[in-house]
Amino acid sequence: MNNSISGFSKLSKEEKINWIAKEYFANSTEAVATIKQYWNNDAQLQQLHDEFIENTITNFYLPMGIAPNFLINGKYYSVPMVIEESSVVAAAAKSAKFWSTRGGFKATVLNTEKIGQVHFLFNGDSVKLQQFFNSIKGNLLASTESITQNMQKRGGGITSLELRDKTSELENYFQLHATFETKDSMGANFINSCLEQLAKSLKEEAQNYNGFTEEERDIVIVMSILSNYVPNCIVRVEVSCKVEDLAEKKIENPKEFAEKLVQAIRIAEIEPFRAVTHNKGIMNGVDAVVLATGNDFRAVEAGVHAYASREGHYSSLSHAKVENGIFTFWMEIPLALGTVGGLTSLHPLVKMALEILGKPSAPELMQIVAVAGLAQNFAALRSLTTTGIQEGHMKMHINNILNQYQTTTEERKIIRNHFENNTISHASVVAFIENLRK
């Protein structure tokens, strides 16, 4: 079957759905019903969601949960998390509770610099290009004034602009490398608008510069775009306590636990195969809060993993040590987040999430998000180095199996009772359900 179509975007929503249903499903009536089942009854709300992207046919639900009891810099937060993976919210809540009785999380924003670049080609004398740049830098910045005015009023704007010679790596390749302060907005639109203006002005100035030859005047702008690598937009989060205070039900020998946890982190520091999974656990917490607050998780993911490789090999984002009987567990990660603009005032649940967090500034949100990541990492390492990860995972996974088999309340009771003392695996739960129903 040839499933291609031209002019799909021009079809009405109803026509798009009908086309998809007929093209890909044997029972197209059922497919249409499933798609429409997820529409919102409130037409206005549905329209809002339809217009977030193109070619919308329906909504895709993800659960939004709350991890309460996060004590961060002496203040309690209930943290909204949007994630499909069972056990992540439970693990975050458990970690939050654990550390709330041991001094809570300390979080500090170290810096908030964003970066953008105009990538261009210049075929000529690089010394002359630098002289040219020095003479027109003021004009370049002045040309962005109508864009930067409002941001400047809020204390932000372009904080530096330099010319970078990259010709040793790529022939004729230079950059305008700009840094930005974007206050409470993530700043992508602001940065890209500034960069496109800088590029336009750069080209115009070059065309009128007497010091250049004809060829040198013809600067080729390749592209102008922000960087999602933000190594100077860093938040540091930390927990610490006396080693003996780590004791609790599952941590009978706190000294051994602390040593194992430090060892687990050393492994993630030197072994990329482990580091990726270790950091994935951190991102379970980070992404869930980033999503709930309407931020761009792809940008965060790209930036964080680049940062994890900054020393030339992929390594752990978190670190731990035991010194003078004190266990310290910490992490520094880059996070370019916004609490104004974008989805933050458009999506009703994003608005709610930010309200639950007390309408944080962007730096405060950086702290909360990073704490969620560290909490998640602690929970994962605690399970991995004690009972193993499957115990908790399978307990949560059992719910998915019970739903999948559409078990009754009565059946659920029996199944749960049985698995209190028996090993949970997908196969064992399924076998038990089937046996129960015989």
Residue 382 as a binder of ligand MEV (CB under 6 A): the answer is no
- Cβ closest to ligand MEV, residue 88 vs residue 226: 88
Interior/surface letters 312-330, b for 16+ CB within 10 angstroms, e for the rest: eebbbbbbbebeeeebebb
| Closest to ligand MEV by CB, 349 or 384 | 384
Q: Which range touches ligand MEV (CB under 6 A), out of 113-121, 135-143, 237-245, 273-281?
A: 273-281
Residue with smaller CB distance to ligand MEV, 281 or 338: 281
Is residue 380 involved in binding ligand MEV (CB under 6 A)?
Answer: yes
Output 98 or 133, the one with its CB closest to ligand MEV.
Answer: 98
CA distances from 277 to 13, 317, 377 (A): 40, 11, 10
Catalytic option among 393, 395, 411, 418: 393
Q: Minimal distance in Å, beta carbon 29 to ligand MEV?
A: 38
Cβ neighbours of residue 152 closer than 8 Å, sequence gap 6 or more: none
Nearer to ligand MEV, 23 or 271 (CB): 271
User: Of 206, 223, 180, which Cα lies nearest the Cα of 362?
Assistant: 180
Q: Is 123 in the site for ligand MEV (CB under 6 A)?
A: no
Closest distance between ligand MEV and the C-beta of residue 230, in Å?
A: 24
CB of 295 to ligand MEV, least distance (A): 20
> How near is the Cβ of 383 to ligand MEV at its closest, in Å?
7
One symbol per residue from 75 to 104: x for binding ligand MEV (CB under 6 A), - otherwise; what is it?
----------x-------------------
Residue among 114, 278, 382, 397 that touches ligand MEV (CB under 6 A): 278
Is position 413 annotated as part of the catalytic site?
Answer: no
**Partner residues linked to 322 by β-bridges:** 327
As a three-state string, the secondary structure of the chain is CCCCCCCHHHCCHHHHHHHHHHHHCCCHHHHHHHHHHCCCCCHHHHHHHHCCCCCCCCCCCCCEEEEEEEEECCEEEEEEEECCCCCHHHHHHHHHHHHHCCCCEEEEECCCCEEEEEEEECCCCHHHHHHHHHHHHHHHHHHCHHHHHHHHHCCCEEEEEEEEECCCCCCCEEEEEEEEECCCECCHHHHHHHHHHHHHHHHHHHHCCCCCCHHHHCCEEEEEEEECCCCCCEEEEEEEEEHHHHCECCECCHHHHHHHHHHHHHHHHHCHHHHHHHHHHHHHHHHHHHHHCCCCHHHHHHHHHHHHCCCCCCCCCEEEEEECCEEEEEEEEECCCCCECHHHHCCHHHHHHHHHCCCCCHHHHHHHHHHHHHHHHHHHHHHHHCCCCHHHHHHHHHHHHHHHCCCCHHHHHHHHHHHHCCCCCHHHHHHHHHHHCC
280 is an active site residue: yes
Residue closest to ligand MEV when measured from CB atoms: 281
Residue among 280, 319, 351, 418 flagged as catalytic: 280
Tell me: does residue 277 bind ligand MEV (CB under 6 A).
yes
- Closer Cβ to ligand MEV, 281 or 303, answer by number: 281
Among 104, 281, 285, 338, binds ligand MEV (CB under 6 A): 281
The residue (of 280 and 359) whose beta carbon lies closer to ligand MEV is 280
Burial class (CB in 10 A: 0-12, 13-18, 19+), 410: exposed
- 385 forms part of the interface with ligand MEV (CB under 6 A): no
Nearer to ligand MEV, 131 or 277 (CB): 277
Q: Give the pair of three-digit tokens for residue 412.
A: 């659920």
Rule CB under 6 A: is residue 285 a binding residue for ligand MEV? Answer: no
Annotation says 418 is catalytic: no
- 305 in contact with ligand MEV (CB under 6 A): no
Least Å distance, CB 316 to ligand MEV, is 10
Q: How many residues contact ligand MEV, by CB under 6 A?
A: 9
Candidate ranges 43-51, 118-126, 184-192, 276-284; the one touching ligand MEV (CB under 6 A) = 276-284
Examine residue 284 and tell whether it contacts ligand MEV (CB under 6 A): yes
Residues 330-369, one symbol each (x = binds ligand MEV by CB under 6 A, - = not), give ----------------------------------------
The amino acid present at 398, given as its one-letter code, is I
Stretch that binds ligand MEV, among 109-117, 120-128, 178-186, 275-283 (CB under 6 A): 275-283
Q: Which residues bind ligand MEV (CB under 6 A)?
A: 85, 277-278, 280-281, 284, 380, 384, 389
- State the catalytic residues: 85, 280, 296, 393
